[in-house]
Each structure stands twice: as structure tokens, then as C-alpha cells.
Amino acid sequence: MRRVRVSLLSTLALGCLTISLHAQVPRNNLDVHRPPSRSSVPGGPVDLKLDHCFHQVLANDRVRVFSVEVPPHQSTELDSHNHDYVILSLGKSNFQISGTGTTYPMQLEDGEMQVLKGRWPHQLANLSETPLHLLELEVLQEVHPDHPLCGLAGQECTDGRFGNSDEGRYTQSTLFETDTVKLARIELSPGGALPEHRHDHCHVLVAIDEIQFRDENHDGGKDLHLKSGEALWYAGNVVHRLKSLEKQNARLVTLEFK
């Protein structure tokens, strides 16, 4: 199974808590975002919808999903992040997050995620020669990352599963869970299918890679196509099976709301 890392970035402790599916990263690797530096940004914070770098993908009473695109060596506005949120890197990225008195350098691999605490205005600056593309999933009832049930420096999440059949391979791994949300990652090989499973709660499905797949349930099913960074919303009490129609591997993320 491919290693996946999710991190927690907190303004309360100037550091980055990093975990993987298999083992916690040694503590001497946790200080990369600790050194503070001064940042001066004119004007006050703006709502994400007013920042030209943010494009709303989905919004309801549980979550706001934004596609964030920043040209090389440019920055977003000083944005008002009023809630905890998850950052998902679409492509390899090199950027920094700057707020009053604090700057965190960030280097993420394609598909890597971090959890950030809300209620501190900050901006993103793209440090690379290529456009920065992120997805932000703002959880309106908060993530509560300081008190995880598993993952995020808590005990290891153990409810992952995988399979290999004539159709193809699949893996499903919980990256972290708190009292409000559960974040999981799905990987499907060509023709691979995630077996029938149940979601008692509402959830959002996000494509890391572009994917065509069939969403099957007891009433039949439908073929769907998601581009990288696109999202689908599902109400609770859903029983379904997801089968890839792609000729290459594809990755998805689910964020379930309790």
C-alpha cells in the first residue's frame, strides 16, 4: 500500500504534527514549520469567495470546497479562515502560509494533505516556477484536530481494507478521525472496484485524479466523470459500490460528517 501522509498545522503550537498510515514520523522531523518570521500584509482579511485565487466548487451547511490556483511567485489575499480546514495538494507544491508574525514553509507531494486550524487570517504565497493548485475543504462544524480518535498524532487508524480480484485492485484507508469528521483515501487500479459499503452520515467525495467510474446501488447505478479537484455530495444512509472505468490508477478522498 502506498504511504500517505496527513499533517496538522496549528497556530497554538508553532509546529507541524505529521503522521502516516503506518507509523508516526520521528519527532525530530516535526519542527520544519516552527521558526516564525514577520509578515506584513496591508489591509484586513477578506472572505474566501472575494479572493480571485479561490473558486468555490461546492458549498452547503457542512462544508465549503474551494479550488485554489496561484500563479508562480504570486500570493492570495489575506484571507479570513473562520473554520478548520483540510488542504489537498493537486500536483507537487512549494509555498508558504503567512499570518501576523508567523510564516510556515510548505512542500507537499501530489495528493498529500494537511489539516489547518481556523480563526487566524493568513495568505498563501507560491514559491515555485509553476502554478500552485490546492483544494481546501473548510469544515463548518470544525475538525477538532487536537483531539483525534485516530491519526493526527493519535493512535493509528486500523479500519483500512484492500482487495485484489479479476476486476482489479482497491485500497481504502482512514487517514484520521475526530468527533466531527472522518477523512479516508481510496485508490482504484484500472477496473478496480470498492466493494459495497455503507455511509451512515453525509459525505463529500473528491477526485485527486481525473476519473470515470460507476456508482452502483440496489436501484441500479450511473456512470460519473470527475476531473481532478471536482467533488460530489452524498446525503447520509448511502449504500453503494464504486467501480473505476479508467485505464490508469485513480485516487479519491472522502470526508464524512458526523
Q: What average pLDDT score do residues 35-61 get?
A: 77
C-alpha cell at 177: 478521525
208 closest CA partner among 239, 179, 246, 182: 246
Q: 224-253 pLDDT, tens per residue? A: 999 999 999 999 899 999 999 999 999 999
The helix/strand count (H/E) of the chain reads as: 0, 20
Q: 179-226 pLDDT, tens per residue? A: 999 999 999 999 999 999 999 999 999 999 999 999 999 888 999 999
Which regions of the chain carry the CATH code 2.60.120.10? 5-139, 161-257
Helix (H) or strand (E) holding 146: none
Specify the CATH class of 161-257 in words: mainly beta
Q: How many Å apart are CA 93 and CA 110, to the nearest integer?
A: 7
CATH topology (fold) of 5-139 = Jelly Rolls (2.60.120)
C-alpha cell at 90: 493537486
Q: How many Å apart are CA 200 and CA 178, to the nearest integer?
A: 16
Instruction: Give this prediction's pTM.
Output: 0.84
